[in-house]
């Protein structure tokens, strides 16, 4: 994991209701470059407001680059394709599948799951929130209550530079792959060079020069943060290691809220060891599930955790989509990575790790409030007596996940 370094400011944003106005404000103030990556970009409700802000920025000459996952995001609607094209918004889809046979290639299971946005290389937004209205779900329609999710806005410092470089690298690698598929080999070669092959990337070659970081006022304490990426090359286990390291050092409390929770053996053992040495370990997980497999596959691992004294709460008011944690009231992480094999072994993910008491206590308070007002604590005795049908569903889902990992050549 990269070292934690000072940032000028951190802001915790809960849900799209907080994130999207902050994004739009940043887009409307942008002068040079907007880089946006997301798994889902949906144009219902608030998603359309974000798209309009991108159009406004492009129309006044800001370079706007949007990279979406080709599985998570439907093809661009015709009306928006014209709007984006006319304004100059660049839009690319990451790793499109060609027909049903595409799903049979394990390499294509590696998706773009990051939710990263960098504005003028000065401000970065990172979290679990897609460009998707809080009260709308593509599979379930209108929601009665908003999703429970978080993002963090980081201003200044190395995190913004690291995020800008990471997004630029992936953008131009996708461009290079597209050019090669279209047999535009000279364009592909230029894109590969711009993406940093053969040397460190210089982001000045990838866009117009942006504003530099301001000097920190003397005597003002700054929060420390780092951008932690997961990919399938050098950073295969970086996010999981950050979790395990923080849990291993915990002395009082570990709180984790995670949408799709199926940790591997090392992470499960870290949680169990922490609970057994007297750390209060609390999990906030999905009580209302979106997908059968992820929901039921997690149930078989509850038993060992509950037996060790881990508290498990399920969020029931709406869909829980958060991927956050707080340890000992000062360490926190906010990001896109679930604690399951898809995130920890296959997908491109991005988390921000933070060491700041004020930020951690803010996040901790929101999680505790959600558990108290909108959650249900699982009783170990009741869990042990759950019906046979639920047990079978859990073991079937868990076995299918393990078989999929075997096919993909992954150990977990």
d(CA 260, CA 340): 6
d(CA 4, CA 66): 28
The pLDDT value recorded for residue 63 is 97
Whether residue 221 contacts residue 245, with contact meaning beta carbons closer than 8 Å, is answered with no
Say whether 323 is catalytic. Answer: yes
Q: Which of 42, 69, 83, 115 is catalytic?
A: 115
| Positions in the chain short of pLDDT 50 | 180-185, 188-189, 192, 195-217
**DSSP line for 109-139:** G--B---EEEETTTEEEEES--BS-TTEETT
Q: Which of 120, 149, 340, 356 is catalytic?
A: 120
Say whether 28 is catalytic. Answer: no
Q: Which of 83, 296, 313, 323 is catalytic?
A: 323
Ordered by where they begin, the domains of the chain are 5-205 (3.30.870.10), 226-407 (3.30.870.10)
The pLDDT value recorded for residue 189 is 47
The pLDDT value recorded for residue 219 is 53
Residue identified by tokens 């999990």 is 283
The pLDDT value recorded for residue 204 is 42
Residue 6's φ and ψ, nearest 5 degrees, are: -70, 140
Say whether 296 is catalytic. Answer: no
Q: Which of 74, 328, 355, 362 is catalytic?
A: 328
pTM, to two decimals = 0.88
Say whether 245 is catalytic. Answer: no
**Rg, the chain, Cα only:** 21
Per residue in 378-397, pLDDT (tens digit) is: 999 999 999 999 999 989 98
Q: Which of 134, 321, 340, 356 is catalytic?
A: 321
The pLDDT value recorded for residue 33 is 96
**C-beta atoms surrounding 198 within 10 Å:** 7
The pLDDT value recorded for residue 196 is 46
Per residue in 220-261, pLDDT (tens digit) is: 568 899 999 999 888 889 999 999 999 999 999 999 999 999
Residue 264's φ and ψ, nearest 5 degrees, are: -75, 180
Say whether 69 is catalytic. Answer: no
Q: Which of 83, 113, 296, 313 is catalytic?
A: 113
Q: Coil, strand, or helix at residue 40?
A: coil
Say whether 44 is catalytic. Answer: no
């Amino acid at each position: 994991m990269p070292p934690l370094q000072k940032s000028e400011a951190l802001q915790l944003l809960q849900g799209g209701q907080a994130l999207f106005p902050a994004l739009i404000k940043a887009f409307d103030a942008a002068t040079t470059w907007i880089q946006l990556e997301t798994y889902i970009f949906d144009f219902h409700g608030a998603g359309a407001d974000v798209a309009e802000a991108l159009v406004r920025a492009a129309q006044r000459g800001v370079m706007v680059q949007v990279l979406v996952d080709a599985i998570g995001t439907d093809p661009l609607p015709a009306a928006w394709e014209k709007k984006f094209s006319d304004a100059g918004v660049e839009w690319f889809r990451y790793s499109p599948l060609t027909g049903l046979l595409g799903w049979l290639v394990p390499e294509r299971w590696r998706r773009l799951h990051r939710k990263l946005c960098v504005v003028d290389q000065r401000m970065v937004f990172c979290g679990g929130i897609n460009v998707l209205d809080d009260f709308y779900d593509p599979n379930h329609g209108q929601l009665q209550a908003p999703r429970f999710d978080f993002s963090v806005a980081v201003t200044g410092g190395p995190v913004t530079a690291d995020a800008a470089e990471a997004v630029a690298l992936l953008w131009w690698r996708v461009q290079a792959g597209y050019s090669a598929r279209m047999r535009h080999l000279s364009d592909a070669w230029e894109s590969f060079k711009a993406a940093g092959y053969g040397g460190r990337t210089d982001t000045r070659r990838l866009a117009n020069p942006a504003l530099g970081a301001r000097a920190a006022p003397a005597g003002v304490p700054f929060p420390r943060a780092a951008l932690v990426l997961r990919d399938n090359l050098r950073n295969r286990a970086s996010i999981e290691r950050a979790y395990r390291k923080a849990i291993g050092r915990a002395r009082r409390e570990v709180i984790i809220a995670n949408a799709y929770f199926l940790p591997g053996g090392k992470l499960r053992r870290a949680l169990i060891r922490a609970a057994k040495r007297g750390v209060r370990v609390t999990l906030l997980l999905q009580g209302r599930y979106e997908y059968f497999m992820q929901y039921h596959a997690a149930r078989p691992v509850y038993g060992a955790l509950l037996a060790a004294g881990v508290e498990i709460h399920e969020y029931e008011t709406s869909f829980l989509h958060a991927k956050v944690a707080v340890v000992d009231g000062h360490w926190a992480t906010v990001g896109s990575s679930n604690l399951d094999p898809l995130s920890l072994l296959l997908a491109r993910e991005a988390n921000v790790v933070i060491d700041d008491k004020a930020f951690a206590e803010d996040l901790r308070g929101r999680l505790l409030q959600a558990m108290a007002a909108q959650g249900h604590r699982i009783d170990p005795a009741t869990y042990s007596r759950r019906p046979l049908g639920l047990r079978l569903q859990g073991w079937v889902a868990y076995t299918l996940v393990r078989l999929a990992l075997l096919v993909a050549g992954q150990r977990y």
